[in-house]
A = this chain, B = another copy of it.
Amino acid sequence: MNKRYALGIDYGTNSCRSLLIDLSDGREIGSAVFNYPSGESGILTDSRDPNVARQNPQDYLDGLDAVVRGALQQAASNIADFDASQVVGIGVDTTGSTVIPLHCDGTPLGLLPEFKDNLNAMVWLWKDHTSHEEAAEITKLGLEMRPEIMDKCGGIYSSEWWWSKILHLRRCDPAVFHSAFSFVEHCDWIPAVLTGNSDPLTLKRGVCSAGHKAMFSTQWGGLPAKEFLAKLDPLLADLRDRLYSEAHVADTKAGGLCAEWSKRLGLNEGTAVAVGAFDAHMGAVGAGIKEGTLVKILGTSTCDLMIAPTSKPLADIPGVCGIVNGSVMRDYYGIEAGQSAVGDIFLWFVNHLVPESYGATPDEKFANMEKALSGMKPGATGLLALDWNNGNRTILVDHRLTGLLLGQTLYTEAHEIYRAYIEATAFGALTIINRIEAYGVPVKEVINTGGLSIKNEALMQIYADILGRPMKVSRSEQTCALGAAIFGAAAAGAGTVADIQSKVTATREKTYHPIAGNHAVYRELHDLYRALHDAFGTAEWNGKLGHVMKQLLEIRDRQRQPGHASSD
């Protein structure tokens, strides 16, 4: 039996990691992590402006070397007859929009000695928010000139995205802008490096980043027309000629591994390297996304992904972050939604508002609060919260929203509030699902991945009870890297993404099923959540809220009655 392996490389915000899998069954035979050494946990910051978040491209190269060789070493020690030549393909995912200014020879400006001390020449990390004014300007112009483009990105262009960052660089540091011949997404640059072709004009660009962040679509001839870009800045229109007119699905082979990196990594020259994509999109594939399955990446924020076949017409879904043909899988629209803060709300709460009576460390506090809240029935807290401490990404697409907690008495305790925040994030998740279903894409099950899905059983049961659907958990703890490996294998011709996925992905044995009695109570609470959501989140809403506190008290009193058994 000829063993075949595939390698996935996942670039996160603070570190990158590799995963080497057996293509016959998905067994994970090698993995390594590299923490970016530059700045604060890999992020270059500016004490004068908290919005600045940049990275050093050298960290990516050093990390690439370290995690690939680390995984191969581990595989060799795990498997007696392991041979690196059995690695047939390499896939890469990264954060995004993470934008790198390039010299005309394809070298990131940040690697050139003359720019080594200029943050503006470095990589502009996804969470750099210096471009908020440019984002507002692009949104305004887009809604006026190109409403069809804005419909695909939920009606608002973000400060985290490609054109906002490039336009802000043009304005805040014209010298660096002029030195940049072109720009590349991090996810496209790594395959370019591996295949030895960093020529900005010919390196293969992925449709995932192009479609979700750079307003690229074949529907309107690729990137936005020069006419549109020129209104933002004539130099952006010029730049369009030095970008790209084609973008590829990630199962496309970007090229073969070049001689230099073949030598550095100890892999065969010519090994297939797949076109890159974003972490969440490849992670969705690694988690087992298919038609009807929503993949939820539960982290500090969430990313929700669905696919819908391109063979059937798909309406625009108002308020959903992006709909891009091929961004997750070929022949499917990738539908991306998400919540601006989930784990971040819990972290904020535990760090700022949970007293030491729950424990000495955040982990102890979480554990003890989870224990305390697990015994409660839905609604027994009398509390209701909105999950907007960091704004609302889907479906309101409004970062100028804030948190709300309602129903406190003189006896409300911290673990009850924690439960209310968990419920709020689940109601937020349900709101997204309801919106997607309302536009013709049914959501039959949810597969979860990310730390919270593995370690917080109380949260998962509450999610099942609120979403009213089975909640599964992805088997792998490294779904992004696993997804990247799948694309590497597909680019190597080892099968379609769906075929490979069916062999190497799985969910855990434990599935969280909704408990009917709990779900019924949560439907009542969801009506109240929805009233608050619409009242505070929309300009159009006009109605009454005088019933909210009273109904919460009624539900609370009912659910606190000792004989009551709805949650059993």
Stretch at the interface among A81-89, A185-193, A518-526, A542-550: A542-550
Tell me the bound Cα distance from A383 to B447 in angstroms: 36
Stretch at the interface among A57-65, A163-171, A199-207, A353-361: A353-361
Interface contact A545-B550, CB-CB below 8 Å: no
Tell me the bound Cα distance from A356 to B538 in angstroms: 38
Contact with B along A535-562 (1 / 0, CB 8 A): 1111111111111111011000000000
Interface contact B407-A406, CB-CB below 8 Å: no
Tell me the bound Cα distance from A539 to B535 in angstroms: 16
Is residue A405 contacting chain B, with contact meaning CB distance below 8 A? yes
Is residue A269 contacting chain B, with contact meaning CB distance below 8 A? no
- Most chain B CB within 10 A, of A344, A348, A537, A547, is at A348
Contact of A545 among B345, B354, B541, B547 (CB under 8 A): B541
Chain B residues, Cβ within 8 Å of A543: 542
Instruction: Say whether, besides A355-B352, A537-B546, A541-B544, A406 and B402 are in contact (CB < 8 Å).
Output: yes
Tell me the bound Cα distance from A414 to B539 in angstroms: 30
Closest approach, in angstroms, between the C-beta of A122 and any C-beta of chain B?
25
Interface contact A405-B402, CB-CB below 8 Å: no
Instruction: Say whether, besides A353-B353, A355-B355, A405-B404, A410 and B348 are in contact (CB < 8 Å).
Output: yes
Total identical chains? 2
Interface contact B408-A404, CB-CB below 8 Å: yes
Is residue A455 contacting chain B, with contact meaning CB distance below 8 A? no
Contact of A542 among B408, B544, B553 (CB under 8 A): B544
Interface contact B402-A344, CB-CB below 8 Å: no
Contact with B along A397-437 (1 / 0, CB 8 A): 00011111111111111100100000000000000000000
Is residue A390 contacting chain B, with contact meaning CB distance below 8 A? yes
Is residue A382 contacting chain B, with contact meaning CB distance below 8 A? yes
Interface residues of A in 327-383 (CB under 8 A from B): 341, 344-345, 347-348, 352-356, 382
Tell me the bound Cα distance from A404 to B409 in angstroms: 9
Chain B residues, Cβ within 8 Å of A545: 535-536, 541, 545
Contact of A413 among B352, B414, B547 (CB under 8 A): B352
Is residue A389 contacting chain B, with contact meaning CB distance below 8 A? yes
Interface contact A408-B414, CB-CB below 8 Å: no
Closest-by-CB residue of B relative to A360 is: B356
Closest-by-CB residue of B relative to A344 is: B410
Instruction: Say whether, besides A352-B413, A400-B553, A405 and B407 are in contact (CB < 8 Å).
Output: no
Interface contact A546-B539, CB-CB below 8 Å: yes
Contact of A354 among B355, B401, B553 (CB under 8 A): B355
Chain B residues, Cβ within 8 Å of A354: 353, 355
Chain B residues, Cβ within 8 Å of A548: 536
Interface contact A404-B402, CB-CB below 8 Å: no
Instruction: Say whether, besides A406-B403, A549-B402, A412 and B541 are in contact (CB < 8 Å).
Output: no
Contact of A389 among B345, B347, B410 (CB under 8 A): B410
- Most chain B CB within 10 A, of A353, A405, A411, A552, is at A353
Interface contact B410-A402, CB-CB below 8 Å: no
Chain B residues, Cβ within 8 Å of A535: 535, 544-546
Chain B residues, Cβ within 8 Å of A536: 406, 545-546, 548-549
Chain B residues, Cβ within 8 Å of A552: 402
Interface contact B402-A382, CB-CB below 8 Å: yes
Closest approach, in angstroms, between the C-beta of A18 and any C-beta of chain B?
31
Contact of A348 among B406, B412, B538, B544 (CB under 8 A): B412
Chain B residues, Cβ within 8 Å of A390: 409-410
Sorted from nearest, which 9 A-B pairs have the closest CB atoms?
Answer: A403-B408, A539-B546, A348-B410, A535-B545, A356-B356, A402-B407, A404-B406, A353-B353, A405-B405
Report 26 cross-chain contacts, Cβ distance below 8 Å, ordered by A residue: A345-B410, A347-B410, A348-B408, A348-B411, A352-B412, A352-B413, A353-B354, A353-B355, A355-B355, A382-B402, A389-B409, A390-B409, A400-B549, A400-B553, A401-B549, A402-B407, A402-B549, A402-B553, A403-B405, A403-B412, A405-B408, A406-B536, A535-B535, A535-B545, A537-B546, A539-B546
Known: A341-B410, A404-B408, A539-B546. 12 other contacts (CB 8 A): A348-B411, A390-B409, A400-B549, A403-B406, A403-B407, A403-B412, A405-B405, A405-B406, A535-B546, A541-B546, A542-B542, A542-B544
